[in-house]
Structure 1
Amino acid sequence: MSVQILQRQQSHSTDVPVPEDQVATIVARARQAQSAFAHAGQSTVDTAAAAVAWAIMEPARNRQLAERAVADTGLGNVDDKIRKNHRKTLGLLRDLHGRKTVGVIAQDAASGITEIARPVGVVAAITPSTNPAATPANKIINALKCGNSVIVAPSPKGHDTCALLLSFIHAEFARSGLSADLVQMLPAPVSKAATAALMQQADLVVATGSQANVRMAYTCGTPAFGVGAGNVASVIDNSAALDDAAAKVARSKTFDNATSCSSENSLVVLEGVYAAMLEALAQVGGVLLTAAEKARLQALMWRGGKLAGTFTGQSATRIAELAGLERVRALRPAMLLVEETGVGSDYPFSGEKLSPVLTLYREADFGAAVGRVARLYDYMGAGHSVGLHSSDPRHALQLGLELPVARVIVNQAHCFATGGNFDNGLPFSLSMGCGTWGGNNFSDNLGWRQYLNLTRIALPIAEHMPDEAELLGDYFARVGK
């Protein structure tokens, strides 16, 4: 039974079910479909993953999804969402192509270990309004590739986009002979109670979106993967190719109106190149606000310490219009630039903005720049990633050794690179683990590996028992026995 039919039945029912019972019905169908799917073999799970990929990538459907997403959420822009839907899904297919995820997937004669891939069962996929089609599709493809069924809990704003995506998926499933119950979603209106019930009844939770949802996932009693907050900073050092750095920052910061958690929120620029970098940013559409303009924008963008939703995911020109910055609006900026000296709740521009507003810090040397980024991440965004524009490889290593980040992105447009790109080796994903720094239990890009269990067969091998000197000799040499 499709989600749409379930919704119609419920809308005509005089007995409105409590969320737990309503969700239990959906989970029961998902569990029944998954029990058969889990034993269908590699070819069938590959077919299911491909069907979902084509459901979002087919050009006419991709455009419909992008247009619906912008209309429903008011976030981002259609052309960039079309590109995101296509590239992120194509990249995921590349990562999964030929990947064995059913049955025996590895054998090592030396260790005597055979690894068997096993599904986790029913996956609860919690997804955000910023990517109401791309993120659900990514999670659904990964889950199906590993033999699972999926129930999506979309954000309320993204519900209709997700429902449209599922209608396309079910159409592909009908052509492929697959059960529609393998991929379902919570019916509208999506409530916190229904989402909580889904988390508790599923076998695995994968949560992307608000930190409230991530915290709920980690405390729901079901094994969960959740991601941390974004607040990306990028360092521009004295050896950077400034025009190239500015162009890449602009591409990243303006893509889909900066709705990505991987878009830069701050640039930390060394004193020696600060003036030249400002000029390079101006050449790609950055407009520096005066102190008065910055104060006006800050007063409107944050109300009671919270980022105002009216500014989220809007273009820089629209933000200038909303803030009454007529001088800036007339320039039709690609980005709004604000200079800052402080970090923390008293300096809201130091945090995540989900808009093409970019904060600039000026630092005397690279050590001071590293310290500034550390303070930014102590306030918000620890674990996610840091950008670097430099020709000095030692600086990338220093960032990786000293900062609480899972990724160091060097000389790339950050929002494209962090979640995997065709010109770097990171796996494609729209959900980035932030490690214990960000309150997460993993620091990888969320991918297929998080959606399966492994059973290991251990065979006997020739015994080798080392003696104490073999393992403790260096210790004894240093401190004595």
Structure 2
Amino acid sequence: MATAVNLEPTSDAEEIAALIARSRSAQAQIAHYSQAQVDNLIRAMVWAVAKPEVAEMIARHTVEETQLGNYEGKYLKIFRKTRATLMDIIDDKSVGVIEEDRERNLIKIAKPVGVIGALSPSTNPEATPVIKAIAAVKGRNSIIVAPHPRAKLTNKLICDLMREAIVKMGAPADIVIGIDTPTVEKTNELMRQCDRILATGGAAMVTAAYSSGTPALGVGAGNAVVTVDETADLDDAAEKIRLSKTLDLAASCSADNAVILVDAIHDTMLAKLVAKGGLVLDNAQKAKLQQVIWVDGHINAKVVAQTPKFIADVAGFAIPEGTQFFIVPETGAGPDHPFSGEKMTVTMALYRARDIDEAIALTNRIQAYQGQGHSCGIYSRSDANIMKLAEGTNTSRVMVNQPQSASNSGNLWNGMRQTFSLGCGSWGGNGTNNNITWRDLINETWVSKPLAVPKILPSDEVLFGDVIAKLG
């Protein structure tokens, strides 16, 4: 009597190994694609999810599944952010010779990495898989996306739409694969078995990425601090802070977590923030809000990216109709002052500073607790103050007169690279400061030819100068 053979994977490691094998086979089929083939692929992948009626459907589906953020914010990300990201990279040369340095007689050739293992968070599950996928495919890689379990159906929906479009373009569907039933164990296996990790998620998952033994591009914690100085256009600043704080109900780690107002404009600017829907909490309300945002020292998932009314109801205090965000007066920073850290809610800590110098010192104190290396911002018309803040803070990005959450990952009004993966440098425990895109997902071969005229080593007098006299 014949014995039935179980052909299903018997472990997480085997299941992921099977996905890796499929992904690697697909990647081999596009490894020598031309630039035109690559660019048509990523155009198709974005159009499949971002055409208006589909974007609307995805936005509603994402909110229904995750219960995070709002439709307007999700729609902007899937409809506009994906288009902007495509526009940002579509004219980049990513195949063959991508750079020539004639002075040094160097030629740089782009080559794929292989299989990219990508992590997608529950807070941005609508656009993250798309943006990471087109960055991977731009470099002629394949990608496997591991979603947060809270967003697994959204991830499947988006990956399936991209896969259908890829097949219609004549390429193998498996250059994009989503993990349909995600677990921490499967995600860890993906990170161990892929060729490069593109990690966006909680601190624990990013740490796991760096510990996997696979080259990883991770991101640091967000805790944006924004300064408004005495030269700022206060009406413009108030509206942009409101927009940044409320976009997708603060699902983004780039939302303004702390705002510093200098003395000269403090009262006037605070009044403008209140007029924009900000509610200044008293000490009793602050204490109640603290109890619901943090539970056992961790952010309470129940209130992340929820409306002000929902949060206030959970906290047990009433708020006026029209409240869009909470303003919590704060003076300290660190674990004894939790509002100085990331909040993932429509809540901003409000600080007062004498001048730009105190604002810089305060920014560094706040971000030494959380968010160092990520980003900060300033509303100012003073180039001196802008540059002083940039030079005096441990940050990778300084956004000037722009809504932080909509700007530091790139937007149409600035020159930042479009991404959802923000490197935070050594300050944030990352290997890069830049906005991560396709250029981080390729290997490069450098071709070095002899210089037409060899360099000449200068004399000791020229090279060492007056150091010789000082040292003898």
1:327-374 deviation digits (Å, cap 9, x = unpaired): x1x333011111011111121111111111111011222211111111
Counting only pairs closer than 5 Å after superposition, residues 361-380 of structure 1 correspond to structure 2 as 361-380=351-370
Query: Which residue pairs with 2:3 in the alignment?
Result: none
The structure 2 residue matched to 1:323, chosen from 297, 315, 322, is 315
Query: Which residue pairs with 1:268 in the alignment?
Result: 260
1:249-281 deviation digits (Å, cap 9, x = unpaired): 001100100111111001111122111111000
Distance 2:120 2:470 in 1: 54
Query: Which residue pairs with 2:298 in the alignment?
Result: 306
Query: Which residue pairs with 2:277 in the alignment?
Result: 285
1:178-207 deviation digits (Å, cap 9, x = unpaired): 11111002231x111111111111110000
Query: Which residue pairs with 1:335 in the alignment?
Result: 325
Gaps of 5+ in 2: 1-5
Q: Any conservation in 1 of the 2:129–2:159 contact (CA below 8 Å)?
A: no
Q: Report the 3-state secondary structure (helix = DSSP H, G, I; strand = E; otherwise coil) of the residue aligned with 2:443.
A: strand
Distance 2:255 2:185 in 1: 32
Q: Which region of structure 1 is more displaced relative to structure 2, 97-106 or 383-392?
A: 97-106
Q: Report the 3-state secondary structure (helix = DSSP H, G, I; strand = E; otherwise coil) of the residue aligned with 1:342.
A: coil
Distance 2:36 2:29 in 1: 14
Distance 2:365 2:317 in 1: 30
Q: CA deviation at 1:237?
A: 1.2
Percent of aligned positions that are identical: 37
Query: Which residue pairs with 1:401 in the alignment?
Result: 391
Amino acid at match of 1:409: M
Counting only pairs closer than 5 Å after superposition, residues 5-44 of structure 1 correspond to structure 2 as 17-44=10-37
Distance 1:284 1:173 in 2: 44
Query: Which residue pairs with 1:228 in the alignment?
Result: 220
Q: Report the 3-state secondary structure (helix = DSSP H, G, I; strand = E; otherwise coil) of the residue aligned with 1:467.
A: coil
Query: Which residue pairs with 1:146 in the alignment?
Result: 139
Query: Which residue pairs with 2:208 in the alignment?
Result: 216
Q: Which region of structure 1 is more displaced relative to structure 2, 101-110 or 378-387?
A: 101-110
Q: Any conservation in 2 of the 1:29–1:181 contact (CA below 8 Å)?
A: yes
Q: Report the 3-state secondary structure (helix = DSSP H, G, I; strand = E; otherwise coil) of the residue aligned with 2:144.
A: strand
The structure 1 residue matched to 2:112, chosen from 98, 111, 119, is 119
Q: Any conservation in 1 of the 2:356–2:389 contact (CA below 8 Å)?
A: no
Number of corresponding residues = 466
Distance 2:160 2:380 in 1: 46
Query: Which residue pairs with 1:8 in the alignment?
Result: none
Q: Report the 3-state secondary structure (helix = DSSP H, G, I; strand = E; otherwise coil) of the residue aligned with 2:431.
A: coil
Counting only pairs closer than 5 Å after superposition, residues 344-355 of structure 1 correspond to structure 2 as 344-355=334-345
Query: Which residue pairs with 2:436 in the alignment?
Result: 446
CA separation of 1:35 and 1:245: change in aligned 2, threshold 3 A: same
Query: Which residue pairs with 1:74 in the alignment?
Result: 67
Query: Which residue pairs with 1:196 in the alignment?
Result: 188
The reply to whether residue 425 of structure 1 matches residue 415 of structure 2 is yes
1:386-440 deviation digits (Å, cap 9, x = unpaired): 1101111111111211111001111111111101111111111111110000000
Tell me the TM-score normalized by structure 2.
0.96
Query: Which residue pairs with 2:454 in the alignment?
Result: 463
Q: Any conservation in 2 of the 1:317–1:332 contact (CA below 8 Å)?
A: no
Tell me the TM-score normalized by structure 1.
0.94
Q: Any conservation in 1 of the 2:77–2:126 contact (CA below 8 Å)?
A: no
Gaps of 5+ in 1: 1-12
Amino acid at match of 1:49: I
Query: Which residue pairs with 1:254 in the alignment?
Result: 246
Q: Any conservation in 2 of the 1:235–1:389 contact (CA below 8 Å)?
A: yes
Distance 1:134 1:471 in 2: 55
The reply to whether residue 157 of structure 1 matches residue 147 of structure 2 is no
1:445-468 deviation digits (Å, cap 9, x = unpaired): 011110111101111222122223
Amino acid at match of 1:32: S
Q: CA deviation at 1:475?
A: 4.4
Q: Report the 3-state secondary structure (helix = DSSP H, G, I; strand = E; otherwise coil) of the residue aligned with 1:404.
A: coil
Amino acid at match of 1:342: G
CA separation of 1:470 and 1:101: change in aligned 2, threshold 3 A: farther
The reply to whether residue 170 of structure 1 matches residue 160 of structure 2 is no
Distance 2:459 2:413 in 1: 47
Q: Any conservation in 1 of the 2:29–2:172 contact (CA below 8 Å)?
A: no
Q: Report the 3-state secondary structure (helix = DSSP H, G, I; strand = E; otherwise coil) of the residue aligned with 2:99.
A: strand
Q: Which region of structure 1 is more displaced relative to structure 2, 127-136 or 104-113?
A: 104-113
Distance 1:102 1:275 in 2: 55
